[in-house]
Structure 1
Amino acid sequence: MTQGRPAQKDAYHLILEAIDSGIYKPGDRLVESELAERFGVSRTPIREALQRLETQSLLERDGRSMIVASLDHNQMAELYQVRRELEGLAARLAARHATAEEIAVLRDMVVADDKLVGNPQALSRANRRFHEQIHLASHNRYLVQQLDLVHRTMALMATTSLAAEGRGEIAQNEHKGIVEAIAARNEDAAEKALKDHISIAFMTRLKLDADSRERR
């Protein structure tokens, strides 16, 4: 039996990953011809992908061009509010439905991620994997879909809150508390721990933004 080749990623996911990984940052202009050359695809799927990303508010028009969107203060506050509620629900459902294996994976992630404290970018990527694992452990496909869009939109923030001094270690301790509440099947505690975690991340980001404005 011959083994099939892995499916190639489409233009939408290629552009999305480039934004997510920081190759394209808020305010960067996306040109169809350049994207087609970079990803080795024709301009038609690139154009369709750009339109799809625009409908998701990840891109915005600047004249006839598309640029990577940026979030103002109100948009950021709205995003964190939605994220806090959805993440809290994911933690509650994970406490109810997570398998023993899923809980073991979460615990392993926390231990591994402790080694990344001091490297904000690497810790940010690990942080996303950790949260995605909780989403999956909720065993609710519709919630996972909504949280995926929320986390994609988080890429429109130029910096990570984990870059704040001391935030990495504190966030890791918060992760430990979330996992232990899930492992104990304590739905109320899991939901509260994750909601508090998101609230603290938001406050940290607000402080970073305030410091940035002061330095201008």
Structure 2
Amino acid sequence: MPKDAYTLILEAIDGGLYKPGDRLVESELAERLGVSRTPVREALQRLETQAMLRRDGRSLIVASLDHNQLAELYAVRTELEGLAARLAARHATDEEIRVLRRMVEDDRGLLGGDPRVLSRANRRFHAQIHLASHNRFLVQQLDLVHRSMALMATTSFAAEGRDEVAMGEHDDIVRAIEARDGDAAYVALRSHISQAYETRLRVDAGELKLR
């Protein structure tokens, strides 16, 4: 089934093709996506309603997150991700857990590489935990949170040394899920998100350099 204009534009923002502050022009998008202007116009209106885009005069631009919005987003993400890990430890199938373990092992081969590739691998890992929670309502809320994460101009994986530390944190999370220890999984994933947030704050403050 072909993707609609809304999904295509959202994926372009999430993939970094359009970054915070970039202007989105209806005619250019229609040509790039190979669709008519009407579905593009409707998609842009929907994205504006969801605060993914904002008005700048007569133009629509990709929104960005200020310091307070970032704090609010991470506060929600920390709790929801922790809950997903707790539920995954209880409800994940053996097959799902083996997939998580394989992801950790495979992603180690990406260390030191392109931060954008690492970021995509990180999203796959977290999405697998969300699915392994076997709670559709939690997955829906996490999808909304991760959609807003696309409004950050850089990934924390671009900070020097963050990739190796993060992979170690992923290993801790999977170990807890493998042990069916919901409390430990909750703590491990909350700590992982907290460290990512702290890294982002240190980058914004100029304390850490980007690769």
Q: Please classify the TM superposition score into its range, dividing by the shorter chain length.
A: over 0.9
What is the TM-score when the length of structure 1 is the normalising length? 0.94
Alignment partners' CA distance in 2, 1:121 and 1:14:
18
Alignment of 1:187-202 (within 5 A): 187-202=182-197
- Equivalent of residue 5 in structure 2, options 11, 28, 43: 11
Q: 1:189: how far off?
A: 0.4
> Structure 1 residues 55-64 or 197-206, which shifts more?
55-64
* Residue ranges of structure 1 left out of the alignment (5+ in a row): 1-6
1:26 alignment counterpart = 20
Deviation sequence 1:87-146 (CA, Å, 0-9, x none): 001001101100000000000000000011112221111000000000000011111111
**Root mean square deviation, CA, Å:** 1.4
Superposed structure 1 runs of 4+ greater than 2 Å apart: none
Alignment of 1:1-216 (within 5 A): 7-119=1-113, 120-211=115-206
Identity fraction in percent: 75
AA partner of residue 134 (structure 2) = H
Alignment partners' CA distance in 2, 1:207 and 1:176:
24
Tell me, yes or no, if the aligned pair for 2:91 and 2:134 is still in contact at 8 Å. Answer: yes
Alignment partners' CA distance in 2, 1:212 and 1:25:
23
Alignment partners' CA distance in 2, 1:146 and 1:117:
30
Tell me, yes or no, if the aligned pair for 2:160 and 2:208 is still in contact at 8 Å. Answer: no
Tell me, yes or no, if the aligned pair for 2:92 and 2:133 is still in contact at 8 Å. Answer: yes
Tell me, yes or no, if the aligned pair for 2:22 and 2:61 is still in contact at 8 Å. Answer: yes
Q: 1:212: how far off?
A: 7.6
* Count of paired positions: 208
* Residue ranges of structure 2 left out of the alignment (5+ in a row): none
Q: 1:213: how far off?
A: 11
Deviation sequence 1:22-68 (CA, Å, 0-9, x none): 11000000011111111111111111101111121111111221100
AA partner of residue 16 (structure 1) = L
User: Could you say what secondary structure the match of 1:211 adopts?
Assistant: coil
AA partner of residue 158 (structure 2) = A
Q: 1:83: how far off?
A: 0.4
